[in-house]
């Protein structure tokens, strides 16, 4: 039986939406963008950690989606509404890309492999490591021949779609888990059990499959990157229980935000051998992903506490504007990398000391693309949510050109 908590006993921190989460999305996408662009221009250690932005996105998704699902367990249209609303948010941009690619195939001679088709159907993340071992084609690269460059071969980089695959697989499974378990305490216990088992399972995987680990299998696999999703889900379920208060939230948030990174730094300091990229380091790939997820959960808790300076910072208009279209920014940003950092362009820019302009200029280009995409492609579908899958008490998505940027928990 579902142990819904009566309204007076529920945490006072629950709200229809949290405006600061748009700023948190902006922080996440800026971290990811810096990982892809800034580290190629200035190869310093700080940019190598930008990949943690993906874990921040995972934590946000786990938090928002679990809250929506748990609050809808009593509804007859539980599954129908959830999947319609998710499809209206995610599919228009994603499958518009694949449709355009299909229409351009006769002109650009796009090479369609089975691996690329796997990425189109949200399972390509399981094939990236195998491609590195030459077991099959690479799902993260789309090959085509440009008629404007003498038929020269080019690649379109879609490696970042792996995280979209992870989230979509989570959306496929997690609603059924909540539906069958229902109990908030039971769901919290389940999150804790899986969360604890994940680093142990990764350690065993590294021991028995060292070759696959070296090619990044643990980084791209849903089963090994669920820490952030589960951490966010745990936060959502915890806030829906009795006894939540701002004081308790601050203590837990600061403990996670400070304690997890310190423990990770200590673990790395004690490590005898280090790999090139932090995300593929043995320590990171075992307990590291778990500690990063805990830190992300702590940052999330700080963001939903409305009276903090951190929350005020996250509600600054530039951050909110970026966070609002973070899905589009994430979607487009890596596709331009191959063109910008081609050998000829790279050498020309380096000789003219213009490399420092690449991250800034490419972010502006990506931002404009995402802005146009959100207004003309995504927003018409978002406006269908209240019509096709209404949720009583939900706050609708704003029109694309609205001045106050207040988004629902489902906007990303």
Looking at the domain assignment, is residue 154 inside a domain?
Answer: yes
Q: Given a cut of 50, is residue 164 above it in pLDDT?
A: yes
DSSP 403: S
- Does residue 397 sit within a domain? no
**Residue 249 has what pLDDT?**
86
Predicted confidence (pLDDT) at residue 106 exceeds the cutoff of 60: yes
Q: What is the pLDDT of residues 16-32, one digit of tens each?
A: 778 899 999 999 999 99
Q: Report the mean per-residue pLDDT for the chain.
A: 85
Q: How does residue 180 score in pLDDT terms, banded at 50, 70 and 90?
A: very high
Tell me the pTM: 0.90
Q: At 216, which helix (H) or strand (E)? A: none
pLDDT value of position 275:
60
Per-residue model confidence (pLDDT) at position 48:
85
Can you tell me the mean pLDDT for 239-248? Answer: 78
Asked, for residue 347, whether it belongs to a domain, the answer is yes
- Residue 139 included in any domain: yes
The answer to whether residue 396 sits within a structural domain is no
pLDDT at 178 over 60: yes
> What is the pLDDT, as a whole number, of residue 13?
74
Higher pLDDT, 136 or 120: 120
The answer to the question of residue 395 being in a domain is no
**pLDDT at position 149:** 58
Q: How far is CA 41 from CA 37, 52, 194, 329, 350, in A?
A: 7, 19, 39, 20, 9
Yes or no: say if 74 and 245 are a contact pair by the CB < 8 Å rule.
Answer: no
Q: Quick check: 307 pLDDT over 60? A: yes
Question: Sorting pLDDT into bands at 50, 70 and 90, what band is 241?
Answer: confident
Place of tokens 């996105």: 57
* Beta bridge partners of residue 157, listed in sequence order: 141
Token pair 């934590």 is found at 59
Q: How many domains does the chain have?
A: 1
Percent of the chain with pLDDT over 90: 57
Q: 32 is in which domain, residue-wise?
A: 7-388
Is 412 part of a structural domain of the chain? no
Q: DSSP for 178-219, please give it.
A: HHHH--HHHHHHHHHHHHHHHHHHHHHHHHH-HHHHHTTHHH
Report the alpha-carbon distance of residue 139 to residue 126 in Å, rounded: 9
Cβ atoms within 10 A of the Cβ of 244, count? 19
């Amino acid at each position: 039986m579902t142990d819904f908590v009566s309204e007076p006993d529920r945490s006072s921190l629950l709200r229809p939406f949290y405006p600061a989460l748009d700023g948190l999305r902006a922080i996440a996408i800026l971290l990811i963008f810096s990982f892809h662009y800034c580290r190629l221009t200035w190869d310093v250690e700080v940019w190598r950690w930008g990949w943690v932005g993906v874990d921040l996105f995972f934590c946000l998704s786990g938090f928002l989606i679990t809250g929506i699902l748990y609050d809808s367990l009593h509804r007859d249209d539980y599954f129908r509404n959830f999947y319609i609303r998710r499809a209206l948010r995610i599919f228009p941009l994603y499958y518009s890309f694949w449709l355009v690619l299909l229409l351009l195939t006769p002109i650009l001679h796009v090479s369609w492999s089975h691996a690329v088709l796997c990425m189109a159907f949200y399972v390509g993340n399981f094939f990236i490591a195998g491609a590195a071992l030459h077991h099959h084609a690479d799902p993260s690269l789309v090959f085509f021949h440009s008629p404007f460059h003498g038929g020269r071969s080019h690649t379109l980089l879609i490696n970042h779609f792996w995280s979209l695959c992870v989230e979509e697989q989570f959306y496929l499974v997690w609603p059924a888990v909540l539906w069958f378990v229902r109990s908030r305490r039971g769901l919290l216990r389940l999150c804790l059990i899986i969360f604890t088992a994940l680093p142990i399972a990764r350690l065993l995987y590294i021991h028995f499959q060292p070759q696959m680990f070296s090619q990044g299998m643990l980084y791209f696999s849903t089963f090994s990157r669920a820490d952030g999703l589960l951490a966010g889900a745990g936060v959502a379920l915890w806030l829906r229980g009795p006894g939540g208060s701002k004081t308790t939230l601050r203590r837990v948030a600061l403990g996670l935000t400070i304690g997890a990174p310190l423990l990770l730094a200590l673990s790395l300091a004690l490590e005898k051998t280090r790999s090139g990229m932090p995300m593929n380091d043995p320590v990171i790939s075992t307990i590291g992903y778990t500690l990063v997820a805990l830190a992300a959960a702590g940052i999330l808790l700080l963001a939903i506490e409305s009276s903090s300076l951190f929350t005020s910072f996250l509600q600054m208009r530039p951050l909110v504007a970026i966070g609002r279209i973070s899905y589009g920014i994430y979607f487009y940003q890596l596709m331009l990398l191959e063109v910008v950092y081609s050998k000829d362009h790279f050498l020309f820019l380096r000789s003219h000391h213009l490399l420092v302009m690449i991250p800034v200029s490419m972010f502006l280009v990506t931002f404009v693309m995402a802005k146009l995409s959100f207004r003309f492609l995504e927003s018409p579908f978002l406006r269908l949510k209240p019509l096709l899958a209404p949720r009583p008490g939900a706050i609708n998505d704003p029109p694309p050109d609205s001045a106050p940027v207040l988004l629902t928990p489902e906007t990303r």
